[in-house]
Structure 1
């Protein structure tokens, strides 16, 4: 098995370790009443979107998410949380440097002793969730598992759902699929974006992602017999009917959304294998984007 597949398979056990950090994460991330920004790049941006929705829905206060490469400090925040697996991504570091004095800075990272440590007041370290792979799988899902527990969710069944996702058959034969669409609602919109990114990174696949109810507002027009339309979380059943009407294959299941993402990760790796690609060496990608000229 490649590193990516091994790291996908490790997730239920790694989540259990992440859940044990819920109290530490609550102190770093919940901060009741503080206006908070969560930022990241790539996968970490999608995690930031999930975290922002989860934190605000849990009642801890106004929460925004931002792509670090687009961040301009125009609004006032009490706290900024940077998601960065490597602790070295140039655009995340530059965003932290642009923050005004007085903002509480927090990093959630998988690597100690990197540049981000000098730019934050608090660090939540998930080194047990670090990855050899360029393509992120277990780090982002562990961040979300930890945060959900920190925000008060009961995740006693999460690891079991993760094991079920590892054992489940794939929802379609990768040889029959050319086009993937991932749909979410609420915090799972960010998961849909992340699943689509996995398919692009690992398998160079045509993949899209949308808030579920927006799917009928245009994107459904390109669906066809070789499309797989995948729903995360409480997406209305009527979207399956829209997919079938276009000739596409819909997929949904009753697992926890993070476990649903595990199955999507597995599908991306299987699609890569079908296409003769190595997910451990994705085209044009590196573990961390480090820019010689941050404004270039």
Structure 2
């Protein structure tokens, strides 16, 4: 029987075509508003995507950018803000937007999968991806949709043709990738450097939520500063960098010496991320879990006001 999560994952390629159309439509409107220092706010998976997007923005514009947990937001006078939230109902993000509106009055953009949310009421503008959210608790579709949207929004014009090939790349991968090849490993580690470090974190979080195992997500170079001590023959390393990245390739040489297996394909990181979703689902079913009912989780984290004060 096909699970709802599997249907969500298989539906990612047509979703990405919708993201392309929506972002290319909004890009001329939003880009003039997004300049200078930029803070990207999120929680959980959205914070991981914010980490990647901050590096992409700095690379494209030369302006400073920082990903911030919405719960730890501190005033950055003169900075513009982008909040990322599947539902727009997350308490920490709403509270951060309230503080911004009350004290800074700087531009705020909300990237969200649900319209008419409390966060939208506080934002200056909304980047709607109402077709992106999955029906279940665990995020898959919204992760890749928001990542592609931000890559397109920040990209230089000459990079747009390549980004428009990503839906077809993902579609091909979903037809060919076999998650069973990684089922034998007890220990999973996700690595990435530069803007891909955020993807390593979101991949680890997805596997943890879905399959109730404790994976690791690290910056590729930082993995050599301690965590590699746990690598052995029971470890599979997923690297979001590519073999043409000579810096990461040098680290992978050290990783292989531990006996760990390395998955290090020459493909776009977005493609690898969708493969992680399939692996997480496979791992959950392998362990006899119901991926539709992750423990202790809900679609939106809504906290009492006194917790936020």
With the length of structure 1 as denominator, give the TM-score of the two structures: 0.94
3-state SS of paired residue (2:41):
strand
What is the CA–CA distance in structure 2 between the aligned matches of 1:265 and 1:5, rounded to whole Å?
A: 9
For the pair 1:111 / 2:123, whether they are aligned, the reply is: no
Q: Return the structure number with greater helix share.
A: 2
Checking the alignment, whether the CA contact within 8 Å between 2:51 and 2:198 is kept in structure 1 is: yes
Checking the alignment, whether the CA contact within 8 Å between 1:22 and 1:146 is kept in structure 2 is: yes
Q: 2:133 aligns with which of 123, 130, 134?
A: 130
Deviation for aligned residue 1:254: 1.7
CA deviation vs aligned residue, 1:220-266 (integer Å, no higher than 9, x gap): 10011111101003452223322221121100112211011000111
Q: 1:205 aligns with which of 204, 213, 218?
A: 213
- 2:12 maps to what in 1? 11
Label 1:18 to 1:93 Cα distance change in 2 as closer, same or farther (>3 A). Answer: same
Alignment of 1:212-223 (within 5 A): 212-223=220-231
Checking the alignment, whether the CA contact within 8 Å between 2:20 and 2:164 is kept in structure 1 is: no
3-state SS of paired residue (2:204):
helix
Checking the alignment, whether the CA contact within 8 Å between 1:91 and 1:294 is kept in structure 2 is: no
Unaligned 5+ residue runs, structure 1?
A: none
With the length of structure 2 as denominator, give the TM-score of the two structures: 0.90
- 2:258 maps to what in 1? 246
Task: Point out the more displaced range, 52-61 or 36-45.
Answer: 52-61
What is the CA–CA distance in structure 1 between the aligned matches of 2:241 and 2:32, rounded to whole Å?
A: 23
Unaligned 5+ residue runs, structure 2?
A: none
Alignment of 1:260-275 (within 5 A): 260-275=272-287
For the pair 1:78 / 2:86, whether they are aligned, the reply is: no
Task: Point out the more displaced range, 198-207 or 154-163.
Answer: 154-163
What is the CA–CA distance in structure 2 between the aligned matches of 1:180 and 1:268, rounded to whole Å?
A: 10
Q: 2:187 aligns with which of 179, 187, 200?
A: 179
CA deviation vs aligned residue, 1:93-120 (integer Å, no higher than 9, x gap): 0111111232111100000111112111
CA deviation vs aligned residue, 1:178-229 (integer Å, no higher than 9, x gap): 1111111111101110000011000011211111011111111001111110
Checking the alignment, whether the CA contact within 8 Å between 2:42 and 2:70 is kept in structure 1 is: yes
Checking the alignment, whether the CA contact within 8 Å between 1:171 and 1:251 is kept in structure 2 is: no
Checking the alignment, whether the CA contact within 8 Å between 2:179 and 2:282 is kept in structure 1 is: no
Q: 1:67 aligns with which of 69, 72, 77?
A: 69
What is the CA–CA distance in structure 2 between the aligned matches of 1:104 and 1:266, rounded to whole Å?
A: 37
For the pair 1:169 / 2:169, whether they are aligned, the reply is: no
Alignment of 1:25-104 (within 5 A): 25=27, 27-28=29-30, 31=33, 33-59=35-61, 61-73=63-75, 75-99=76-100, 100-104=103-107
Checking the alignment, whether the CA contact within 8 Å between 1:88 and 1:288 is kept in structure 2 is: yes
What is the CA–CA distance in structure 2 between the aligned matches of 1:230 and 1:30, rounded to whole Å?
A: 37
Checking the alignment, whether the CA contact within 8 Å between 1:184 and 1:212 is kept in structure 2 is: yes
